[in-house]
């Protein structure tokens, strides 16, 4: 079932997600959400993220060589770590030299960020990884 509401944005840029939406989507206190803005369509989409058995979501900025296969190797390594991506966007910074993959993912139980970074650098051949707050 679809619900629609017109909401107001307060002076600090906040909106309140109506209770009927929160209940139907299983959004509770401290649930993380992802917001995607499409400036061409003048559209904002909001998605709840985080599932049981997983810690908070984390945004990684993964630096890699801009050569064929770099992204595939890192993606394969992420899959081997049993990390399920929520969002990813690859950007070429300097053709043939540097690319960045921005990724949002929940951290599965039993994995820590340091181990993920170490594995992506060693096995995935990432140059550097930053955690974006």
Domain ranges within the chain, ordered by starting residue: 54-132
Whole-prediction pTM: 0.67
- Confidence band for 133, pLDDT divided at 50, 70 and 90: low
pLDDT tens readout for residues 55-95: 578 889 999 999 999 999 999 999 999 998 888 999 999 99
Q: Which two tokens stand for residue 119?
A: 């594995």
Which tens digit of pLDDT belongs to each residue from 108-118?
888 889 999 99
pLDDT at 53 over 50: no
Class of domain 54-132: alpha beta
């Amino acid at each position: 079932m679809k619900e629609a509401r017109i909401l107001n944005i307060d002076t600090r840029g906040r909106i309140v997600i109506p209770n009927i939406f929160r209940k139907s989507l299983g959004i509770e206190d401290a649930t993380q959400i992802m917001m995607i803005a499409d400036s061409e369509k003048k559209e904002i989409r909001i998605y709840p993220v985080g599932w049981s058995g997983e810690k908070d979501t984390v945004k990684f900025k993964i630096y890699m060589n801009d050569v064929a296969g770099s992204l595939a190797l890192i993606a394969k390594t992420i899959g081997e770590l049993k990390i399920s991506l929520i969002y990813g966007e690859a950007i070429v910074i300097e053709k043939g030299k540097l690319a960045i993959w921005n990724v949002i993912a929940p951290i599965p139980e039993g994995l820590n960020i340091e181990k993920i970074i170490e594995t992506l650098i060693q096995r995935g051949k990432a140059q550097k990884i930053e955690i974006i707050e």
